[in-house]
């Protein structure tokens, strides 16, 4: 089924019980991982939204998205998909669900930063109609490696019903 879009695992709200699994998946996806305490801290902030996609036959996470909504703006703070669950539509579904939630909470735009060298993520965001707004030079820093630029992307949020 790899490479096909699936619909059986819809995004749902993350709970406090998901923080360890989110941190574990974050560590699989990123070289500078958030630990469980960092995930819990982000989720405690007002305006934070966390959604997860679970494997259909278990409680194991296939993916997560963490965002923040403040006034009329929303931001994707982190999005991660398990290696075995990539290219199944989970990332698109999570971004769409976060966008719908943010719009319902009054946000008009959704922003994010993505590493300039992360081609698959950039392609995803382009398919989802995000536009490049700028560059943050040397945004991603790691010991022993050259700093990597971040692309600042954004898109307008609209109602699924087509009513603004």
Return the pLDDT at 9.
Answer: 72
At residue 7's C-alpha, the angle toward residues 3 and 8, to 5°, is: 110
Task: State CA 7 to chain mean position distance.
Answer: 18
Which run of H or E residues covers position 134?
A: strand 131-140
Contact of 43 with 20, CB cutoff 8 Å: no
Q: Is 123 exposed, middle or buried (0-12, 13-18, 19+ CB in 10 A)?
A: exposed
As a whole number of angstroms, the distance between CA 108 and CA 116 comes to: 25
Q: What are phi and psi of 38, to 5 degrees?
A: -65, -40
pLDDT along the chain (164 residues), means of 10: 48 91 94 91 94 86 96 96 90 96 96 94 96 93 82 88 44
Nearest residue to 87 (alpha-carbon basis) of 4, 26, 11: 4
User: Which domains occur in the chain, in start order?
Assistant: 12-156 (3.40.630.30)
Contact of 56 with 9, CB cutoff 8 Å: yes
Nearest residue to 31 (alpha-carbon basis) of 144, 110, 132: 144
């Amino acid at each position: 089924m790899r490479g096909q879009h699936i619909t059986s695992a819809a995004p749902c709200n993350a709970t406090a019980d998901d923080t360890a699994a989110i941190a574990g998946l974050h560590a699989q996806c990123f070289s500078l991982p958030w630990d469980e305490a960092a995930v819990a801290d982000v989720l405690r902030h007002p305006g934070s939204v966390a959604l997860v996609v679970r494997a259909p036959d278990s409680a194991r996470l296939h993916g997560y998205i963490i965002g923040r909504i403040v006034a009329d703006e929303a931001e994707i703070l982190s999005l991660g998909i398990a290696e075995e669950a990539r290219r199944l539509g989970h990332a698109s579904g999570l971004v769409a669900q976060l966008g719908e939630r943010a719009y319902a909470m009054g946000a008009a735009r959704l922003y994010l930063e993505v590493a300039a060298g992360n081609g698959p993520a950039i392609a995803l965001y382009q398919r989802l109609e995000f536009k490049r707004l700028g560059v943050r030079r040397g945004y991603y820093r790691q010991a022993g490696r050259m700093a990597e630029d971040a692309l600042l992307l954004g898109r307008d949020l609209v109602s699924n019903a087509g009513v603004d």
